[in-house]
Amino acid sequence: MSSELTPDALYDKCHALAGNLWWTWHPEVINLFRDLDPIRWRQLDHNPIALLKEFTPERLASRAAEMVLYSRINHAFRRLKEYLASSNTWYASQAGVLGSKPVAYFSAEFGIHESLPIYSGGLGVLSGDHIKSASGLGVPLVAIGLFYDQGYFKQQLDENGFQVEEYMDTKVENLPMKPALSKEGKPITVGIDTRNGRLLAKVWLMRVGRVDLYLLDCDVEGNSPQDRELTSRLYGGDERTRIRQELVLGVGGVKALKALGISPGVYHLNEGHSAFATIEVIREKMHEDGMSFDDALRETAQHSVFTTHTPVPAGHDRFDAALIEEHLGPLRDAIGISYEQLLGLGRVEPHNDAESFCMTVLGLKLSRRANAVSQLHGHVSRRMWAHLWPWRVEEEIPIGHITNGVHVPSWLAHQMRQLYDRHFPSDWIHSMGEADPWQKIHDVDPGELWETHVALKNLLIEFVRRRVSRQARRRGEPDEAVETARNLLDNGVLTIGFGRRFATYKRATLLMSDLDRLLELLNNPARPVQLIFAGKAHPKDEPGKKFIQAIANARHDPRFNNRIVFIEDYDINVGRHMVQGVDVWLNNPRRPLEASGTSGQKVVLNGGLNLSVLDGWWAEAYDGQNGFAIGKGTNHVSDEITDARDGEALFDVLENQVISTYYQRDVDDLPRAWIKRMMNSIGSLAWRFSAHRMVMDYTRSCYVPAAGGLSCDMQMR
């Protein structure tokens, strides 16, 4: 059985598997790591490198023999090698023109896995999903980000339900990264000059399947003690920290590519944080290709793609002139433009001194192709930025849209994956961005689909009990409270999940707006409802923290009958359990502030149904049969009226559609009409809102034309 593999060779194979984040979307490899030591696996945040450190090659070999893991390890290792070597990809078959000039994808955060805390939320998870799909499709792409050694905060609630933030040091040696090497084989440090001295950053390399992810890190000798902490925390510090981080990401990122010997054909700026990159690209073109400033600017714009992610004003970074001059001054000297010209690049009205420098404006001005992240967000963004093109009518504003999607293998539960494998065409995972394979869902036996869903719901309930009882124990609560937590929730009860940032526009407490009506729903003896909440508030968002408190403290109020639970520390792991196990995913933002949203797309894959305001992706996804809509997608004159109307609409649809359909059972106790909706949801939405479809759209309508290939500017007006 256990082949001739020596303990050392076995150990090396496990390390190779842990060293490429490809494993994060392969459940058979995840299960393999878990089987090595299930308890430590959980305690170590599902980090295989940390786990392997606890084994000697000999102990690993004996554990592998005991658990019959040899052939699984060999098989996984072979698959990884084949994956990395294969050139038989969607991109290759499209005869793309990018070739040796890859897309450079810049993002301030990457959410790839819970063991890698370099993301805070939706933007990061989207970037992670984007590069995973680029890997799967074979799109030549390198990614640039920052390495935050403390990441984003860990959330705990105190006895009053108030959020407490804690930052933890990440152990670099436990992460799958190594120093990136230059053409000459040397570790790379880039230097960025400011009016105030030089800022240094070293460069790490992480492998995400076929994609190389480079992360810049200011914790290097030669930086001041303060600058060594510059990239410690995601979205920490003040405006000055922020601009310095963005300088490192944008300008430092372009310099790092240069040092690596990579010359990109396209620069994709995912959100404004990285928009300074364009100015460094202009400098390169002037100094290396001898272009004039105007030509270099035009060329840079031709090769740049900009994606805007939010209509919320606070989501658009703005800096005052002094900060811009301090940090971009040497660069503007190098390209020979004036102080006013530089500031003009970040202003709607170039000469308006009252206007601060906006990173979104810079991104829009210096990219020929720009897009929003859903159809509705496209309309909103064109209206929002129309004054940048005052001579154009709104329909001609050059901002298109490519709706966000999620990386299917990362968010699909193993059990559901097995169900699809049984019923879909054998190579469905390679065409998951297309409609065809998914239509097979309508041939699946309703009982089989329902049983799989119920099994996943059970796993979620177990997870909630484990987490909430641990929370209670940590707070030193009495034994009865811990015991109550161990028995929370009921598998037979309609379960609604709400997991997202607690930004106030997302209105986490909308259900609390009519307490009597809510209590009636929760405690209806024949058709009860239970709610699972999770989410972090930004450390400075006091109203958001109050929302958390209101929900978390429901457990002290006997009227709620323990039917509302709050799980601390929402992250990719908590999110994954929730989207895989809920019956219904609730999304009730104040329209049209949710640019896209992606968590509901993850729910689709696993058979849950969306109950959402017609905002973001749901406005173009909902067809009447594939989930539920709150309201009719109208806007009201004031927030107060909107909130009141939406609150009523939410209760109406819950009472009249959601709850009644869920509890309507046939003789086999199957909710036939509900299951039909699950199938409609999977069949009509899973492929359209997949990251594979999204990356194919970016490739066809942005990357290829920006690289100078045949222009097929479909949606890019």
Ligand X SMILES: *Cc1c(COP(=O)(O)O)cnc(C)c1O
Compare residues 296 and 572 and give the one whose CB is closer to ligand X. 572
Binding piece for ligand X, criterion CB under 6 A, among 324-332, 538-546, 567-575, 627-635: 567-575
Nearest-approach distance from CB 204 to ligand X, in angstroms: 22
Q: What's phi and psi for 520, nearest 5 deg? A: -65, -40
Shortest Cβ 522–ligand X spacing (Å): 24
| Least Å from the CB of residue 108 to ligand X | 15
* Minimum distance from residue 309 beta carbon to ligand X (Å): 10
Instruction: Tell me which stretch binds ligand X (CB under 6 A): 137-145, 524-532, 598-606, 662-670.
Output: 598-606
How remote is the C-alpha of 242 from its chain's centroid? 21
- If binding means CB under 6 A, how many residues of this protein chain bind ligand X? 12
Closest CA to 227 of 189, 187, 253, 200: 200
- 456 Cβ contact list (under 8 Å, min separation 6): 413, 415, 416, 580, 581, 606, 607
Q: Which stretch binds ligand X (CB under 6 A): 194-202, 264-272, 539-547, 596-604?
A: 596-604
Which residue, 32 or 534, has its beta carbon nearer to ligand X? 534
Residue 683: partners with Cβ closer than 8 Å, 6 or more residues away: 438, 439, 441, 442
Among 408, 522, 572, 691, binds ligand X (CB under 6 A): 572
CA 528 to chain centre: 33
User: Is residue 409 within a helix (H) or strand (E), and if so which, with residue range?
Assistant: helix 408-411
Q: Which is nearer to ligand X, 122 or 346 (CB)?
A: 122
C-beta separation of 129 from 168 below 8 A: no
Toward ligand X, which CB reaches closer, 125 or 380?
125
Question: Is position 671 an interface residue for ligand X (rule: CB under 6 A)?
Answer: no
400 belongs to the binding site for ligand X (CB under 6 A): no
- Which of these ranges, 55-63, 252-260, 385-393, 565-573, lies near ligand X under the rule CB under 6 A? 565-573
| Nearer to ligand X among residue 283 and residue 500 (C-beta) | 500
Question: 253 or 575: whose CB is closer to ligand X?
Answer: 575
CB of 621 to ligand X, least distance (A): 13
Least distance (Å) from ligand X to the CB of residue 315?
12
CB of 590 to ligand X, least distance (A): 14
Residue 674 and residue 606 in contact, taking contact as beta carbons nearer than 8 Å: no
Residue 491 CB, shortest distance to ligand X, in Å, is 24
603 neighbors 391 (Cβ within 8 angstroms):
no
Two structure tokens written together for 705: 């034309």
Alpha carbon separation from 556 to 256, 470, 479, 531, 560 (Å, rounded): 53, 17, 15, 15, 8
Task: Give min distance, CB of 612 to ligand X, in A.
Answer: 10
Residue 11 or 689: which CB sits closer to ligand X? 689
Gap between the Cα atoms of 471 and 167, Å rounded: 18
CB of 114 to ligand X, least distance (A): 8
In whole angstroms, the minimum distance from the beta carbon of 549 to ligand X comes to 20
In a 10 Å sphere around its CB, with 0-12 CB exposed, 13-18 middle and 19+ buried, how is residue 246 labelled? Answer: buried
Choose between 69 and 373: whose C-beta lies nearer to ligand X.
373
Of the pair 549, 596, the CB lying nearest ligand X is at: 596
* Selected range binding ligand X among 276-284, 383-391, 597-605, 693-701, rule: CB under 6 A: 597-605
Residue 669 and residue 645 in contact, taking contact as beta carbons nearer than 8 Å: no
Alpha carbon distance 585, 127 (integer Å): 22
> Which one of the spans 76-84, 383-391, 564-572, 666-674 is the region binding ligand X (CB under 6 A)?
564-572
Residues 231-270, one symbol each (x = binds ligand X by CB under 6 A, - = not), give: ----------------------------------------
Residues 6+ apart with CB under 8 A from 480: none
Q: Residue 244 or 506: which CB sits closer to ligand X?
A: 506
Task: Kindly identify the residues of this chain, within the stretch 113-152, that bind ligand X according to CB under 6 A.
Answer: 121-122, 125
Place of tokens 């804690």: 166
Asked whether 460 and 578 are in contact (CB, 8 A), the reply is: yes
- Residue whose CB is less far from ligand X, 450 or 533: 533
Cα separation, 475 vs 650, whole angstroms:
34
The single residue among 253, 405, 597, 607 that binds ligand X, judged by CB under 6 A, is 597
Answer for which of 571, 583, 615, 697 binds ligand X (CB under 6 A) is: 571
**How do beta strands 628-630 and 609-613 pair?**
parallel
> Which stretch, 39-47, 303-311, 471-479, 595-603, contacts ligand X (CB under 6 A)?
595-603
| Distance in Å, CB of 536 to ligand X, minimum | 9
End-to-end CA distance of the chain: 61
Nearest alpha carbon to residue 511 among 641, 647, 615, 613: 647
Nearer to ligand X among residue 374 and residue 599 (C-beta): 599
Output 121 or 272, the one with its CB closest to ligand X.
121
| Binding string, residues 450-469; x marks residues near ligand X by CB under 6 A | --------------------
**Is residue 272 close enough to count as binding ligand X by CB under 6 A?**
no
- For the residues of 441-481, what is the DSSP string, one character each? GGGS-HHHHHHHHHHHHHHHHHHHHHHHHHHHHHTT--HHH
Which tokens belong to 439? 């239509």
Residue with tokens 């980090």: 47
Helix (H) or strand (E) holding 104: strand 103-106
Among candidate residues 349, 583, 554, the one with its CA nearest the CA of residue 450: 583
Cis peptide before 589 (omega within 30 of 0): no
d(CA 34, CA 522): 37
Taking CB under 6 A as the criterion, the residue among 433, 575, 607, 608 binding ligand X is 575
Binding piece for ligand X, criterion CB under 6 A, among 190-198, 452-460, 570-578, 646-654: 570-578
Give yes or no for residue 599 binding ligand X (CB under 6 A).
yes
* Window 481-510: residues binding ligand X (CB under 6 A): 500
Q: How far is the CB of 511 from ligand X (least distance, A)?
A: 17
Q: Which is nearer to ligand X, 467 or 602 (CB)?
A: 602
Amino acid at 430: H
Query: Judged by CB under 6 A, which of 598, 606, 661, 680 binds ligand X?
Result: 598
254 φψ region: left (φ > 0), alpha (ψ -120 to 50), beta (else):
alpha
Of 124 and 433, nearer to ligand X (C-beta) is 124
- Which parts of this chain interact with ligand X (CB under 6 A)? 121-122, 125, 500, 570-572, 575, 597-599, 602
